[in-house]
Amino acid sequence: MAARKRGALEGLRVLDFTWVYAGPFATRQLADMGAEVIKVEPPGNGALERRYSLVMERNGVKQSSYHVFLNRGKKSLSINIKTRKGLKIIKELIKKSDVMISNMAPGAMKELGLGYAVVRRINPRIIYCTISCFGHYGAYATEPGFDLIAQVASSWCGQTDPPTPAPVAIGDCNAAMHATTAILAALYYREKTGRGQSIDISMTDCLFHLNENNGPGYLFSGRTVPAVPNTRWAAAYAPYGLYKGKDGLIAIAALSDVLWEKLVRVMGEGYQWLLTDPRTNELEVRLTYQNAPFIHRTLEEWVGKFDSVQQVEDLLRRAGIPAMRVRTFAEVVDAPYIRDREMLVKMEQPFVGEIEIYGSPFRMSETPGRVMGHAPLIGEHSGEVLMRLLGYSDSEVDRLFAKGVIYREPAVDRLGEWTCKRYQTE
């Protein structure tokens, strides 16, 4: 079997103070690319995402799908930072880390004694990244917020009629990818200058600047052209939307003159007038608030003549027109375009066994992203991190466990037993 290629970020150490989704999603990208991510968690229940759905008990150990999918490939250090010794250990780890990231509320890290001013004095080369709903300065900086609040604050929800939140935590994952990009840029800057820096990522900022059609048009017009909310049809893009048929919906996207002509030809003799009608004969007139609704209605009329939307998809795809029947998650996981690109892979999770999990989308010829390991149990690596990175002895680590400075859940002591049992059954 060919040796696995090294991750692009191998040798990079990330001190991870994140929770729920935005922060853990960012550090998962770094872990998939080979970074050593040390997830710092409170003793007892660990990070909050460990209690998010779906929580199941297997072999006497409770674990959540939310945690497993977000924290695979990371190491768990469960530590009481509010003790003097716990804070001292964290500061020792800061000296040996390249990146420190949190998505706690603004001011929370400073209250713990780990604000950027303190951390920079300990390690001037560190990249210190924070993610929050509104950022660390500005009128709403002290306001609490989750993904849904950022969606509303950025106008994301308000651009559909009726107003609708995204089906995924778009504010969290979008901010996470912006954070990842900024961290990599800061590492490149450090490579050139030797200097670290602070990164302030706002979920609302990231979503606001993602506004793709309505926003630029409204601003470009000097705020005179109103931004019209989208339904399942794009307000000013046509054909571009979800069109209703007799047994479901189909997405059709033909945003070029070549694709438009192909589409009209496929629609048949009764629709050839669309090629010359002044409302539809040029790209510039099709992509307008005035004409797009007319095109949407005409296309949906045509789709409605078929017995199924699958027939429409087959017809349009044969003609080279981007189209696809709306699919559920249960359908998509077995789709060839997901399987062929290994976006679902198998992973061994302690006390659960083999599970399916998302693959990494980072397709790189020399350093591809991949699943680097299972999601850790609470405090699974508490002792290892202190001994390997800080030189603590076995007896020192045992005393810290006894005093409650560091922690591991009881199931950690059964890991060897589980591994041996799995090996014997294979």
Q: What is residue 17's predicted lDDT score, i.e. its pLDDT?
A: 98
Which architecture characterizes domain 13-209+339-425 according to CATH?
3-Layer(aba) Sandwich (3.40)
**What is the DSSP annotation of 230-292?**
BSSB-SS-TTEEEEE-SSSEEEEE--SHHHHHHHHHHH-GGGGGGGT-TTTSSHHHHSSTTTH
Mean per-residue pLDDT, 337-361: 96
Mean per-residue pLDDT, 86-104: 98
pLDDT digits (tens, 9 = 90+) for 244-298: 999 999 999 999 999 999 999 999 999 999 999 999 999 999 999 999 999 999 9
> Distance between CA atoms of 289 and 283, rounded to whole angstroms?
13
> Distance between CA atoms of 370 and 257, rounded to whole angstroms?
39
Mean pLDDT value across the chain: 95
- Under the banding of pLDDT at 50, 70 and 90, the label for residue 100 is very high
Given a cut of 50, whether residue 311 has pLDDT beyond it is yes
Q: What is residue 151's predicted lDDT score, i.e. its pLDDT?
A: 96
The amino acid that residue 154 corresponds to is: S
- By annotation, the residues acting in catalysis are 172
Q: What is residue 150's predicted lDDT score, i.e. its pLDDT?
A: 97
Mean per-residue pLDDT, 332-360: 96
Fill in the DSSP letter of residue 302: H
Contact 356, 27 (CB under 8 A): no
The amino acid that residue 151 corresponds to is: Q
Encode 104-132: b = buried (16+ Cβ within 10 Å), e = exposed.
Answer: bbbeebeebebbbeebbebbeebbbbbbb
Mean per-residue pLDDT, 18-23: 96
Angle of helix 22-32 relative to helix 170-193, nearest 10 degrees, comes to 50
Q: What is residue 230's predicted lDDT score, i.e. its pLDDT?
A: 86
Which one, of 254, 218, 224, lies nearest residue 237 by Cα?
Answer: 254
**Percentage of the residues of the chain whose pLDDT score is greater than 90:** 88
Q: What is the CATH number assigned to the segment(s) 232-326?
A: 3.30.1540.10
> Distance between CA atoms of 70 and 74, rounded to whole angstroms?
9
User: Which helix H or strand E contains 25, and what residues bound it?
Assistant: helix 22-32
pTM (whole model) above 0.75: yes
The gap from C-alpha 59 to its chain's centroid, in whole angstroms, comes to 30
**Percentage of the residues of the chain whose pLDDT score is greater than 70:** 98
Q: Are strands 75-79 and 406-407 parallel, antiparallel or unpaired?
A: antiparallel
Q: What is the C-alpha end-to-end distance of the chain, expressed in Å?
A: 19
Chain region(s) in the chain for CATH 3.40.50.10540: 13-209+339-425
Cross-strand pairs, 37:
14
- Under the banding of pLDDT at 50, 70 and 90, the label for residue 225 is confident
Q: What is residue 59's predicted lDDT score, i.e. its pLDDT?
A: 94
Q: What is residue 228's predicted lDDT score, i.e. its pLDDT?
A: 82
Given a cut of 60, whether residue 424 has pLDDT beyond it is no
Q: How far is CA 401 from CA 41, 85, 94, 397, in A?
A: 14, 12, 21, 6
Q: What is residue 229's predicted lDDT score, i.e. its pLDDT?
A: 85
Mean per-residue pLDDT, 177-205: 98
Which one, of 75, 71, 69, 74, lies nearest residue 343 by Cα?
Answer: 69
Q: What is residue 396's predicted lDDT score, i.e. its pLDDT?
A: 97
Fill in the DSSP letter of residue 414: G
pLDDT digits (tens, 9 = 90+) for 139-171: 999 998 999 999 999 999 998 889 999 999 999
Q: What is residue 214's predicted lDDT score, i.e. its pLDDT?
A: 81
Given a cut of 90, whether residue 50 has pLDDT beyond it is yes
Asked whether the bond before 162 is cis by omega within 30 degrees of 0, the reply is yes
Given a cut of 90, whether residue 213 has pLDDT beyond it is no
Q: What is residue 330's predicted lDDT score, i.e. its pLDDT?
A: 95
> Distance between CA atoms of 101 and 221, rounded to whole angstroms?
39
Q: Which of 53-67, 115-129, 226-240, 377-391 has the lowest mean pLDDT?
A: 226-240
Q: What is residue 1's predicted lDDT score, i.e. its pLDDT?
A: 42
Contact 178, 201 (CB under 8 A): yes
Contact 252, 313 (CB under 8 A): no
- Under the banding of pLDDT at 50, 70 and 90, the label for residue 425 is low
Given a cut of 60, whether residue 386 has pLDDT beyond it is yes
